[in-house]
Structure 1
Amino acid sequence: MEDDLLQKRLGEAARTAREALGLTQAQVADAARMSPAVYGRIERGGMMPSVPALRRLAVALGVSPAVLLDMSAREMPTTDKDLSPEIRKAVGILRTWPESKVAVGCALLRVLDAAPMREEEARLEKGAGAVGGAADLERSPAFEGSTCRPGPAV
């Protein structure tokens, strides 16, 4: 996004948040520890606040800095709270691995991602049944002829 457009959108977002709170520009400026003239320039899109000022402004307006920066959901970093329990567990495990082990894991994931799903696996994914544990997984067609066996449950 161009800097001028970002400044304008930040100002619009600040004005919208301020009006929703029923505050004056002077009240927001005071809460954000800046002069009313500076806050007015920010709200009109004529000035980009510094990072510390942006943070104070977001706190004063009760919004995330991302709201003021007009960031889309796709631009926002994902938090673990946005992930399913299974994916959170996998991420937790990955965080403990050294970089070399992560590289091998990523290579395995690419192979698995490229492999076509078998009918039984598709049925399990749709919820028609669930893998009960390591013994069930070992009997799965995905492990036919494989020397790879699942490790202990985490």
Structure 2
Amino acid sequence: EARIRWAERENRAVFLHPRRFGQEHPAVIEKLSAACAGATCGGLAGGAITPLLAAQGECNQQDYAYLIIDTAQQFDDATKANMIALAIEYRQAEKNTSPDFTTNPPTNRNSVFCQKAPKNAQLNGLVQAQDPANDAIHFFDPASGKTVLVGSQANTAPFGG
């Protein structure tokens, strides 16, 4: 007789949900990898995935865009301009958020917004994209690991908004 084996944690079935890898690996990462010669841009591209993950702080993506702009300063004007354009594109990439599995059906949540002014003028007014399929009033706060409602915290609206 064949048996089905369920993954369990604390005597409860663990339900697996597919990840949307395209969300953590936007096209800008490949462009960044090819933006300059040597290991510099490859290293930047490799590090660019982590700030887009759900558990990362709300400003990590913006901070990483700073790093791309700061690193661009060592290159010729054409490479620098391309890298700055990629930093702008990266800042506007969608950040991963996991659904709220405490609701049935699970609620798709938005990512909270960074609440500090950008250090580089090129990033002024830019925020990460939100999946249009997400519930407009529910946000995932990585600091608490919980759902917060729009308007209940400053970071449920863009900085200065």
Q: Is the TM-score greater than 0.5?
A: no
Query: What TM-score comes out, normalization by structure 2 length?
Result: 0.25
Q: Which has the higher helix share?
A: 1
Q: Which has the higher strand share?
A: 2
